[in-house]
Chain A
Amino acid sequence: DGGITQSPKYLFRKEGQNVTLSCEQNLNHDAMYWYRQDPGQGLRLIYYSQIVNDFQKGDIAEGYSVSREKKESFPLTVTSAQKNPTAFYLCASSIGQGLWFHGELFFGEGSRLTVL
Chain B
Amino acid sequence: DQQVKQNSPSLSVQEGRISILNCDYTNSMFDYFLWYKKYPAEGPTFLISISSIKDKNEDGRFTVFLNKSAKHLSLHIVPSQPGDSAVYFCAARPNSGNTPLVFGKGTRLSVIA
Q: Which of B50-105 contact A (CB under 8 A)?
A: 51, 89, 91-93, 97-101, 103-105
Report yes or no: A102 in contact with B32, Cβ–Cβ below 8 A.
yes
Residue of A nearest to B106 (CB): A42
A82 CB, min distance to chain B CBs, angstroms: 20
Residue ranges of A at the interface with B (Cβ–Cβ < 8 Å): 4, 6, 33, 35, 40-45, 48, 50, 58, 88, 90, 92, 97-99, 101-110, 112
User: In whole angstroms, what is the CA distance A93 to B91 when docked?
Assistant: 15
Report yes or no: B104 in contact with A42, Cβ–Cβ below 8 A.
yes
B45 CB, min distance to chain A CBs, angstroms: 7
Report yes or no: A43 in contact with B89, Cβ–Cβ below 8 A.
yes
Report yes or no: A43 in contact with B93, Cβ–Cβ below 8 A.
no
Residues of A within 8 A of B97 (CB): 97-99, 101
Report yes or no: A105 in contact with B41, Cβ–Cβ below 8 A.
no
Residues of B within 8 A of A98 (CB): 97-98
Cβ-defined partner of B103 (8 Å) among A40, A42, A101, A102:
A42
Known: A43-B103, A102-B93. 4 other contacts (CB 8 A): A50-B98, A99-B97, A101-B97, A103-B34
Closest 8 CB pairs of A and B: A107-B43, A42-B105, A103-B93, A43-B103, A97-B98, A102-B32, A103-B32, A42-B106
B90 CB, min distance to chain A CBs, angstroms: 9
Report yes or no: A107 in contact with B98, Cβ–Cβ below 8 A.
no
Report yes or no: A107 in contact with B45, Cβ–Cβ below 8 A.
yes
